[in-house]
Structure 1
């Protein structure tokens, strides 16, 4: 089967499964809604902030406050795209139709990545503009230094989260096992390692901790990270590449 036919087949699979469509929609709605809420609350609390908090005040980053929950939906999307066929047994049919496993896997990832990027960018721009509207006089402009980079980077961040999840799901081949590892990793382990002084230097190199640097315009006063926004996103990209390579090697060596 030609690569273009495989891509069309994967597109049909993704758009015909309700769960993948709903998870992408949820990523947008949750991120935007929470970002708007936190932005409105931040506007009301600005007058009571101390001097240090005002120095760290980053209106762009505040509008992305919902990104943490939005990435949850992106993780589910990435896992379901890859592991659904394993849970239903359809993987045998797919590999019989596309015996070149690399073509099969990376066509699936290419289609899903395109969707994740489109939704990620729409989510990032929408949550920025609505969030800034809520901040009123404290808002940032898209033309301010670093703001467009952060907003565009928000879309890239959500895309990379989905891609990382796809790679892990390709290695584990089970939706429950994949989610059982990814959820605690991002929402428990990463936060603990990043906020405990003894492990802080390790935590800052985890994919979400490093990648989220792209969302910041104002560098916190006590930020000791040795990399900038694009450096952090680059570290996250290395994690994604490692996960995808691992997924490919697993698919290549194991039976369906």
Structure 2
């Protein structure tokens, strides 16, 4: 089957499965909802903040404070896109229709990542403009230096997170196993390693910590620790994680029976 036909097939699969649509909707609502709510609280208590907190206040980064909740739904989306076919047994039919496993995986990842990117960008722009409206005089404009980079980067971060999750799901071939690994990894392990001085030098190179640097405008904003890399360096580190995940998923798909 030619690649355009594979892409069309994968698009049909994704849009006809309710769970994938719901997870994308939750990613949008959770990010926007928590970002606006937390921003309203911070804006209301701004005058009582410590001087060092005011000095590193980053209104752009504040727009994405809900990302830590929305990204969990994006992880689940990435897992379901790949693992649903294994749990239903449809993977055998899919591979029979597309014997070239590289083309099959490429089509699936391309369609799902493009969809995640569209939702991610929609989420980041909506969240940014709503939060800036809440902040009033403390707001940043989309035309200010580095702001557009941060907003676009936030959407790209969500898409890369979904792609990373797809690679892991292709390796583990199970929704339960993939979610059981990924959610604790991002929710617990990453925060624990980044939360202590002795382990922070390792935690800062995890995909979420490095990738989220692209959303930051002010150095050391909102108590974030100093890192040896900048926004684009952090995005590069995340891309390496994603590449390793996708490569691992391809090798498992290529060398193991469905």
TM-score of the two chains, using structure 2 as the length reference: 0.98
The correspondence of residues 1-256 of structure 1 with structure 2, limited to 5 A, is 1-220=1-220, 223-256=225-258
**In the alignment, is the contact (CA less than 8 A) between 2:20 and 2:81 conserved in 1?**
yes
- Cα shift at 1:137: 1.3
Alpha-carbon separation, structure 2, partners of 1:238 and 1:189:
19
SS in structure 2 opposite 1:224? Answer: coil
For residues 72 and 136 of structure 2, the distance between their equivalents in structure 1, rounded to whole angstroms, comes to 29
Structure 1: unaligned runs, 5 residues or longer: none
1:197, distance to aligned residue in structure 2 (A): 1.1
How far does residue 223 in structure 1 lie from its aligned partner after superposition? 3.5
Deviation at 1:27, TM superposition (A): 0.6
Q: Which runs of 5+ in 2 are unaligned?
A: none
Distance 1:35 1:147 in 2: 17
- String of CA shifts for 1:52-86, please: whole Å, max 9, x gaps: 10111111111101101110010000000000000
Name the CA distance, whole Å, in 2 between partners of 1:197 and 1:177.
31
- CA shift for structure 1 position 154: 0.4
CA distance in 1, matches of 2:246, 2:54: 41
**Contact 2:116–2:158, Cα closer than 8 Å, also in 1:** yes
Instruction: Give SS of 1:108's match.
Output: helix
Alpha-carbon distance between aligned partners in 2 of 1:50 and 1:69, rounded to the nearest angstrom: 26
**Secondary structure at the residue paired with 1:227?**
coil
**SS of the residue aligned with 2:233?**
helix
Q: CA RMSD in A?
A: 0.9
Residues 42 and 135, structure 1, Cα contact 8 Å, conserved in 2 = no
Tell me, in whole angstroms, the C-alpha distance in 1 between the residues paired with 2:136 and 2:226.
Answer: 30
Aligned pairs, number? 256
